[in-house]
Amino acid sequence: TLKMKPKCQSPLPLHLHYNCNHFTGAAWQKSALKYCPADVPEMPLCNFKPEEYKGLSKEQMLEIRRQNCNPMTMKITYYKKPVFIHQGHMQWVWDVDGKRYLDLFAGVATVSMGHCHPKVTAAAEKQLKKLWHTTNIYVYPSIHEYCEKLASRLPDPLKVVYLTNSGSEANDLAMLMARLHTGNFDIITFSGSYHGGSSQTMGLTSNSPYKYPIPTGSGCTNVMCPDVFRGPWGGSKCRDSPVQTIRECSCAHGHCMANEQYIKQLKETFATSLPSQIAAFFAEPIQGMGGAVQYPKNYLKEAYKLVRERGGHAPLTCCVQTGFGRTGAHFWGFQGHGVLPDIVTMAKGIGNGFPMGAVVTTAEIAASFVKALHFNTFGGNAMACAVASSVLDTIKEDGMQQNTLEVGTYLIGELAKLRDKYEIIGDVRGKGLQIGVEMVKDKASRDPLPPQAMNEMFEDIKDMGVLIGKGGVYGQTFRIQPPMCITKKDVDFFVAVFDKAVHSYMERN
């Protein structure tokens, strides 16, 4: 005899029904047969009730997407069965059928505080009633209040702010500043990196799917990424993470052979592929699109020294994905490496999803920028500054950074248990809520799991109610970068879902 789940009034038998919290109102009754296997882990409760969706049908949206949106939007639609998102609240989103998802990708680490966070929403509404937009050729309070507040969160001498609309634009502008200040042209960045989609930043980006067959970003050289899991060198003590790689090493305390080898490769690049003087070195504290790749602990410190010796007076750190407390232990990702860059670019969580970016540098470098006029119509407009200011306040008031540290460390530890359980989970890495899970054919070879296998698990995880991302040079890494408000109950749910998806894949194969 089939029994009903406790505390559930569902008229469906157990093998056709999923916990009622997964859907809203009557929507779950219409969708349960399609979406919900019997043994899906139980989703945490959520008291928020989204509005009933009454808009375009799925078919209409897809037809418009095909006919009126650039075909690129069809190419990058994440799933075979797309998610039609209707509404969001904190770490949750709902689709047009009322199905609820735990959002652990947050628009690529962008919705940092949570979807429609009440405090950020209130700040936006207040500004909407006062002033939507004016340009920075005028003097208005919100831009100056925000620039002062943002600068106060950065160490000296990083105190001069220029606001943009996106991370790509911020990186493009940082390239210009570095070249103007040093008088040099060449810029280096890591293989596997992603720094934007503009014609200039495509040169910085070292990831084949994002490159067009046209001249882009001249003067950019990609160097070997010091990846201690997939790269030629790595060990069991290399990185600043709660979890180390599965690779063994015999390095004594305070000594890292992998770091020495990767620095040696950087010196080789300087000796063979670059002029004697360079303009800048772009590096993410933790590589984002590359798959949450982490470097040996002292690599950036030694690399910065080499860059400065060669005239690159503007070592440059991109905190686009690792800023605003996302790594937990530090507010800015570069602080975890013990380095002080000359230019910092930022975007993603800066505006909780509102389009905004920034370049922060020293007064000396900023002075080089005034050799010509540079104007940005929307950068730092009144709305963007009000939202971004509220984000900084909310991080402090809600203890977001501390929550990120505690919950992120717990999540990394739980995922490491699954790594030890399954042969195809090669690596778990990251800090705070910047996490990567690299999938492999087997641990001995560390060869990347093929895209078809990744997609199977990716779809299963989504169908069980969790949204995550993918990355890595070969698309072999699951990326977990949720809103910083998630809880340990959310973690337990996701880990159970991920466990089931991997187990189910291995049973099928």
Q: How much is the pLDDT for 442?
A: 97
Mean pLDDT within 384-403: 98
Pick from 315, 284, 286, 320: which is nearest to 302 by CA? 315
CA–CA dist 315, 188 (Å, integer): 10
Tokens describing residue 195:
């720094």
171, 282 Cβ separation under 8 angstroms: yes
Mean pLDDT within 318-329: 91
As assigned by CATH, the class of the 14-109+400-508 domain is alpha beta
CA–CA dist 7, 304 (Å, integer): 59
Q: How much is the pLDDT for 40?
A: 84
Q: How much is the pLDDT for 72?
A: 85
Identify the three-state secondary structure at position 407.
helix
Q: What is the sign of the dihedral through the CA atoms of 332, 333, 335 and 340?
A: negative
Q: Please determine, for residue 25, whether its predicted confidence score (pLDDT) is greater than 80.
A: no
Please give the CATH architecture assigned to the domain spanning 167-209+219-340: 3-Layer(aba) Sandwich (3.40)
Q: Helices 382-397 and 141-152 meet at what angle, rounded to 10?
A: 40
Amino acid of residue 183? G
Cα atoms in the 13 Å half-sphere on the side-chain side of 292 = 30
User: What share of the chain in percent tops pLDDT 70?
Assistant: 92
Long-range CB contacts (< 8 A, 24+ apart) of 257-262?
257/233, 258/226, 258/228, 258/231, 258/233, 258/234, 258/296, 259/226, 259/296, 259/297, 259/298, 259/299, 259/302, 261/232, 261/233, 262/224, 262/226, 262/231, 262/233, 262/295, 262/296, 262/299
Pick from 184, 194, 170, 157: which is nearest to 283 by CA? 194
Mean pLDDT within 207-227: 91
Mean pLDDT within 27-52: 70
Q: What is the mean pLDDT of the chain?
A: 90
Mean pLDDT within 390-402: 98
Mean pLDDT within 364-375: 93
pLDDT tens digits, 219-258: 999 999 999 999 999 999 999 999 999 999 999 988 999 9
CA–CA dist 203, 22 (Å, integer): 44
End-to-end CA separation in angstroms for the chain: 32
Higher pLDDT, 489 or 208: 489
CA–CA dist 336, 351 (Å, integer): 23
DSSP string of 316-347, one letter each residue: EEE-TTT-TTTTSS-SSGGGGGT---SEEEE-
Burial of 97 (C-beta count, 10 Å sphere; 0-12/13-18/19+): middle
Q: Please determine, for residue 331, whether its predicted confidence score (pLDDT) is greater than 80.
A: yes
Asked if the bond preceding 157 is cis, omega within 30° of 0, the reply is yes
Q: How much is the pLDDT for 154?
A: 97
Higher pLDDT, 24 or 467: 467
Q: Report the helix count and the strand count for the chain, using DSSP H and E.
A: 15, 15
Q: How much is the pLDDT for 75?
A: 79
Q: Please determine, for residue 26, whether its predicted confidence score (pLDDT) is greater than 50.
A: no
Q: How much is the pLDDT for 319?
A: 75
291, 472 Cβ separation under 8 angstroms: yes
Q: Please determine, for residue 23, whether its predicted confidence score (pLDDT) is greater than 80.
A: no
Q: How much is the pLDDT for 215?
A: 85
Mean pLDDT within 33-39: 49
Pick from 335, 478, 331: which is nearest to 419 by CA? 478
Picking from 215-224, 347-356, 443-452, 498-507, which range would have the lowest pLDDT averaged per residue?
A: 215-224
Length of the chain: 509
Tokens describing residue 177:
């500043």
Q: Please determine, for residue 374, whether its predicted confidence score (pLDDT) is greater than 80.
A: yes
Q: Report domain extents, the chain.
A: 14-109+400-508, 117-165+375-396, 167-209+219-340
Q: How much is the pLDDT for 22?
A: 54
User: For 480-507, what is the HEC assignment?
Assistant: ECCCCCCCHHHHHHHHHHHHHHHHHHHH
How are beta strands 425-431 and 477-480 bridged, if at all? unpaired
Q: How confident is the model at residue 312 (pLDDT cuts 50, 70, 90)?
A: low
Q: What is the DSSP letter of 99?
A: B
Position of tokens 């772009």? Answer: 282
CA–CA dist 429, 314 (Å, integer): 29
Mean pLDDT within 79-97: 96
Q: Please determine, for residue 187, whether its predicted confidence score (pLDDT) is greater than 80.
A: yes
For the entire predicted model, the pTM comes to 0.91
Q: How much is the pLDDT for 38?
A: 53
Q: Please determine, for residue 291, whether its predicted confidence score (pLDDT) is greater than 90.
A: yes
CA–CA dist 334, 396 (Å, integer): 20
Amino acid of residue 41? P
Q: What is the sign of the dihedral through the CA atoms of 481, 486, 487 and 491?
A: negative
pLDDT tens digits, 440-456: 999 999 999 999 999 99
Picking from 144-148, 211-215, 260-264, 409-413, which range would have the lowest pLDDT averaged per residue?
A: 211-215
pLDDT tens digits, 94-153: 999 999 999 999 999 999 999 999 999 999 999 999 999 998 889 999 999 999 999 999
